[in-house]
Structure 1
Amino acid sequence: MTAVTLTADRRRGLQRRIRWIVTATIAYNVLEAVVAITAGSIASSGALIAFGLDSTIEVLSAAAVAWQFTRRDPERWEKPTLRVIAIAFFALAVYVIATSLLALIGRVEAEHSTLGIIVTAMSVVIMPFLSLAERRTGRELGSATAVADSKQTLICTCLSAAVLAGLLLNSLLGWWWADAVAGLVIAGFAVREGIEAWRGDACATSVGMILEGDDHGI
């Protein structure tokens, strides 16, 4: 598509939309973290506890983007914000790898957790919509940080699905190792996205170049 310059009003509208999206993401992830860690502690589920802690990483990433778009010149803060998001990806990967390996080596078997299944299922439904909204807005605005943060949200959605599958397989079939193996796969994707964010490759367009769509709202 042809790159065009956004009007000042459209740019401000997109920046305002991103602030609303990341605010919603932060609020949901704070609630998700509290519920998941509580449910994980009750059920002795390392996967659920890890999932709750992962939500705090998502809060950090979203907060970094929210902070950027409160600045007078958001584009100026693209690179440092991308670095924060990249570090969040790497931290997520390290934690998931460590907890997954410990679960496999120690043959950790968690108890059934209805609350855990509910919160992970809700995340699988809710988070893709937040990710899609932020990615579309970020691409139109030409913001690599918003696109990178949307990928962080999508990775967390995949992790939610993996934890949910693990909880269900453990409860229904006794496959205690399922969520640990799935976690290792998700960690690989997190490392890849972290590298892209660190290099500044998270957005297909250069900062300051805007995708065509000036007259079309989302």
Structure 2
Amino acid sequence: MMGKILAQLLICFWITLPFCVTEKAKERSARQRDAEFTDKYQTCMQGVPGVQGRDGNPGINGIPGTPGIPGRDGLKGEKGECVTERFEDPWKPNFKQCAWNSLNYGIDLGKIAECTFTKLRPDSALRVMFSGSLRLKCKTACCQRWYFTFNGAECTGPLPIESIIYLDQGSPELNSTINIHRTSTVEGLCEGIQAGLVDIEIWVGTCADYPRGDASTGWNSVSRVIIEELPK
């Protein structure tokens, strides 16, 4: 009896086993299709974003790169202009005038007048001018010379500054009556004078190889000496 029951159970097991296996296979296939559908057509809403993370620690320096290829020389530029800059103090005018009313100097030899000037630069030149009435008279040929001195000496840079009046012998009767006074000038530039106080004087003297006559300076009129310092 027991063997018969066991045989029936085995028969039933063998009959139902294929159906059970088939159902499990179908179940696995359905779950796989559902998963593929969910991955492909995801319709779920996204959640709230999380808190932003902190910055990481700075990284270390990388390995230095290799040197680049040297560049080529550029085109040659145009030749520039040569400019020399000079940084000097601006030139300021420096001049002086000394004037006299009616000197009426009748001397034939000696100093007539003087004017002291302050020279500011050692490399400048002095322009001097005397303007006044001059006269010379004599019965025989004579000559007088009016000239400048600088600190007691005539100019040597380059030559003396002078003017002369010469009167020919002519007729003794005629020359004895000539007495003409004319406004004349003695003017020139003198270089090589040091800076500082300079005593500038106007003198009258004789000409070389000629006798002196009767000279007169500054008769009945204004005489003046003008001094100006000029850049070289």
- More strand per residue: 1 or 2? 2
* Fold similarity call, TM over 0.5: no
Q: Which has the larger radius of gyration?
A: 2
- If the length of structure 1 is used for normalisation, what is the TM-score? 0.24
- If the length of structure 2 is used for normalisation, what is the TM-score? 0.23
